[in-house]
Homo-oligomer: A and B are copies of this chain.
Amino acid sequence: MGNKEIQEQRIKSYFIEATKEILKGEGLKSLSVRNIAERAGYSYATLYNYFKDVKDLIFECVVDFHEECEEFVKTETKKSQSGPGKIKAIAKAYVKYFIQYPGIFELFFLEKTTELANKQPTIKLIYSFLDKLSEDEWEYCIKTKIVSAADASIMKDTVHYAIIGMLLFYINRREPGTYKEFFEKIETQLNYILKVK
């Protein structure tokens, strides 16, 4: 019967919600099993009845954040009209999401996950995410001959790599020193890579 599974899923969600709150707030560094369990209203060992280990729990959050980010980017860029401008808008919204939640950036890109072989699809989801968000726009640019398919393939990667690099420096190394400077640099970089303006 499904009642057991519904209840089980419900308790799992308490742990997941607690973990997501901590990740969005204090970040990965202040995440601990006892911390999560306290917020979820259970003892720390109870967590292991519902998750293999804490990594398992954390990776369930990844999927949720992923969906949240996708929705954020879509609503943020809804009014942009197709073309390189929209690709820029998508990239900027993507950046904004991680600036809002640096803990999620940490989780997505900085945390060691190589030992989680079974979670490989989730990892793939992360690094192909920006591509997925902007693939329609790239196709549009190719079809309308704004850019060649070969160039598009390279530019798509450049945008992604450069953005992650900038986020890494800004979030982890405070460079540039202010958000204003950072976002201007994002703008400059996107303009250069996408050859706009």
Contact = CB atoms under 8 A, between A and B. Distances in A.
A164 interface: yes
Copies of this protein in the complex: 2
A193 B127 contact: no
A165 B164 CA distance: 5
A62 B179 CA distance: 27
Interface in A104-161: 109-110, 112-114, 123-124, 126-127, 151, 154-155, 157-158, 160-161
Instruction: Provide the main secondary structure of the chain A interface.
Output: helix
B164 A127 contact: no
B158 A164 contact: no
A163 to B, nearest CB: 7
Contacts of A81: none
